Chains A and B, each alone.
Chain A
Amino acid sequence: MLLPALLLLAALSLFPFFYIIWMSFNEVSLIGGVNFEWVGLENWTNLVTDPDVRSSWIVSGIYFVSTVGLEMILGIGIALLVHETVWGKNLALSMLLMPMFVAPVIVGLLGRFLVDSTYGLYAWFLDKTGLITWEILGSKGSALLAVILMDVWEWTPLIVLIVLAGLSSMPPPVLEAAKVDGANYVQRLRHIVGPLISGVVVVALLVRSMDAIRYYDIIAITTNGGPADATKVIPIRLYETAFRFQELGYAAAIGLSMLAFSILVANLFVRILKQQGLAR
């Protein structure tokens, strides 16, 4: 029963996979169809020495650590908060989860609207309170912060959802016993809740990490890498290399280096699943 689907999946994944490897050893031109010219390791040596690519990896690193880090911290905090709620929990959770379903490109466009210096709601608020009085997406630091916070707005709810599932599956008697024994909230969090939900937290971290390197829609539609490359993460660099500068072979090498990273994370994910006896 597996065969038909796996054959299609092979056509969809293995073929492009070998194709992109082949591309990375060639100079690919799109003039009159698709033409290859073998260049050996040239694209790969460029990849290692190119300062632009290196700076994009650094931006990607900052973006990745800040988005995933903030989402984990906020997500765990909010999940603990919602878990304590009794009244209106269902409605609150539904309202909380909404950003997750918004198309990332709409998140970016809506973000642009909210931080526009002449008529944006958030820009107006920041201006009135004197926090940020300049064009938010026009300045390096605030532009990077803005695209990070847009991603955090969209994906923190996912972490809340996952951690909350972990919290609800804790056996209540254990917590009751700790309460009776006089453990305060922080002690219970550290010694009981923490260890009980650590597995779920790791899953949340890995799921989020895998997607954080996949999508680039928000940046593409807001700053497209600018100003002055401040938000030029690796996928934006790849896209520009391939479709603006028409260096598809070089872009393929960049793509493969990204792929290596996500395979690493996927590997960790599968291992964690096995450890918890969840992979079948």
Chain B
Amino acid sequence: MNGTGKKIVLYALLLLVLLWTVVPLLWMVLSSFKNADDLVSRTPKLFFAPTFDNYIGLFTGGNALGGYIVNSILAAGISTIIAVALGCIAGYGLARSHFRGKDHVSFWIISTRMAPIAAVILPLYAVFRTLDLLNTTSGLVVAYLTFNLPFAIWIMNAFFADLPPALEEAAMVDGATRFGAFWRIALPLTAPGIVTTAILCLVFSWNDYAFAQSFSGPGSQTLPIAASQLITQTGINWGQLMAIGTIVVLPMIAVGLAVRRYLVKGLTLGAVTGE
């Protein structure tokens, strides 16, 4: 095959792949602007008169999506802040210290992150029931910390380990304390790492369904629960469902792609460094 022919095949294949990844999302966004008739039309409609009814319907009448949005932001936001703050300190400690049993500590951290959610829900459910944490936002924050905290420690450790210790050592020779070296030298230099960690923690907890479904009640339900509640015995309101989907998905795609350069490192838990 000659050069041009090869290129045409290459780009045709790529186009096919992109259609595969993007069409469902485009279809979701399009459908969120369709009225009930256009939604259930037997032949899919690409052109239609757009309407905001589905979005309006989510906030009016018996529905109050606002509460779910607030719960989502609180649960995901607070757990992210706690995880990243503690993760930075502990990750730095882990990267700069050498002690016996460090391997075991590392292994413990990573296996906590990897524990199957269904297996974590069981003991937490029993404990939350005893401590009265079911149906509270604090309960969800604690639940999200079970995966966000080990993730943040591990990944910040990887980002700090990439920094040459010489800079901090120089600062300490000049009289800075260990904490001063961490606060004024190491922390600013890992800013992209911190942002990436925060965004990934946010995405993991914002997208959670399993924990929220088991632990939350009317006072603490998050957006994914609101979405699942649109499936009822009498039918599914697909228009509103696609609208919630759009509300849940678009912000995460935006923040996720904003740190694309650092995603590889974050998502491989520091094993692979990108671009």
Which residues on A are within 8 Å of B, measured CB to CB? Answer: 1-2, 4-6, 8-9, 12-13, 15-17, 19-20, 23, 28, 30, 33-34, 78, 81-82, 84-85, 87, 92-106, 109-111, 113-114, 118-119, 121, 124, 153, 157-158, 161-162, 165-166, 168-169, 200, 203-204, 207, 210, 213-217, 220-221, 234-235, 238-239, 242-243, 248, 251-252, 255-256, 258-259, 262-263, 265-267, 269-270, 272-273, 276, 278-280
**B123 touching A20, Cβ below 8 Å:** yes
The reply to whether the CB of B146 lies closer than 8 angstroms to some CB of chain A is yes
**B116 touching A113, Cβ below 8 Å:** no
The reply to whether the CB of B67 lies closer than 8 angstroms to some CB of chain A is no
**A19 touching B126, Cβ below 8 Å:** yes
**B224 touching A20, Cβ below 8 Å:** no
**A162 touching B267, Cβ below 8 Å:** yes
Which residues on B are within 8 Å of A, measured CB to CB? Answer: 10-11, 13-14, 17-18, 20-25, 27-28, 31, 39-44, 86-87, 89-90, 92-95, 97, 103, 105-112, 114-127, 129-130, 142, 145-146, 149-150, 153, 157-158, 161, 178-179, 182, 203, 206-210, 213-214, 224, 227-228, 231, 238, 241-242, 245, 248-249, 252-253, 256-257, 260, 263-264, 267-275
Other contacts beyond A15-B123, A105-B209, A161-B267: 18, CB < 8 A: A5-B87, A9-B149, A12-B149, A13-B112, A92-B18, A94-B260, A95-B22, A101-B256, A102-B249, A103-B249, A114-B27, A158-B267, A210-B114, A235-B117, A242-B125, A252-B123, A270-B107, A280-B95
How many residue pairs link A and B with beta carbons under 8 A? The number is 280
Known interface pairs A5-B86, A109-B228; A99-B21 also in contact (CB < 8 Å): yes
Complex Cα distance, B10 from A78, in Å, reads 10
**A279 touching B27, Cβ below 8 Å:** no
In the complex, which residues of chain B have a beta carbon less than 8 angstroms from the beta carbon of A20? 119, 122-123
Complex Cα distance, B22 from A210, in Å, reads 26
In the complex, which residues of chain A have a beta carbon less than 8 angstroms from the beta carbon of B268? 162, 203-204, 207
In the complex, which residues of chain B have a beta carbon less than 8 angstroms from the beta carbon of A216? 117-118, 210
How far in angstroms is the closest Cβ of chain B from A221? 6
Complex Cα distance, B252 from A259, in Å, reads 29
**B116 touching A214, Cβ below 8 Å:** yes
Complex Cα distance, B117 from A234, in Å, reads 12
A to B CB contacts below 8 Å, 11 in the list: A81-B17, A85-B11, A95-B21, A102-B249, A103-B252, A104-B209, A119-B42, A221-B228, A238-B122, A251-B122, A280-B161
**B116 touching A124, Cβ below 8 Å:** no
Known interface pairs A93-B260, A114-B27, A165-B272; A102-B252 also in contact (CB < 8 Å): yes
In the complex, which residues of chain B have a beta carbon less than 8 angstroms from the beta carbon of A97? 256-257, 260, 263
In the complex, which residues of chain A have a beta carbon less than 8 angstroms from the beta carbon of B207? 101-106
Complex Cα distance, B270 from A203, in Å, reads 10
In the complex, which residues of chain A have a beta carbon less than 8 angstroms from the beta carbon of B87? 5
Contact of B206 among A103, A200, A266 (CB under 8 A): A103
Complex Cα distance, B207 from A104, in Å, reads 7
Closest to B43 in A: A124
In the complex, which residues of chain B have a beta carbon less than 8 angstroms from the beta carbon of A98? 21-22, 25, 253, 257
**A265 touching B227, Cβ below 8 Å:** no
Closest to B87 in A: A5
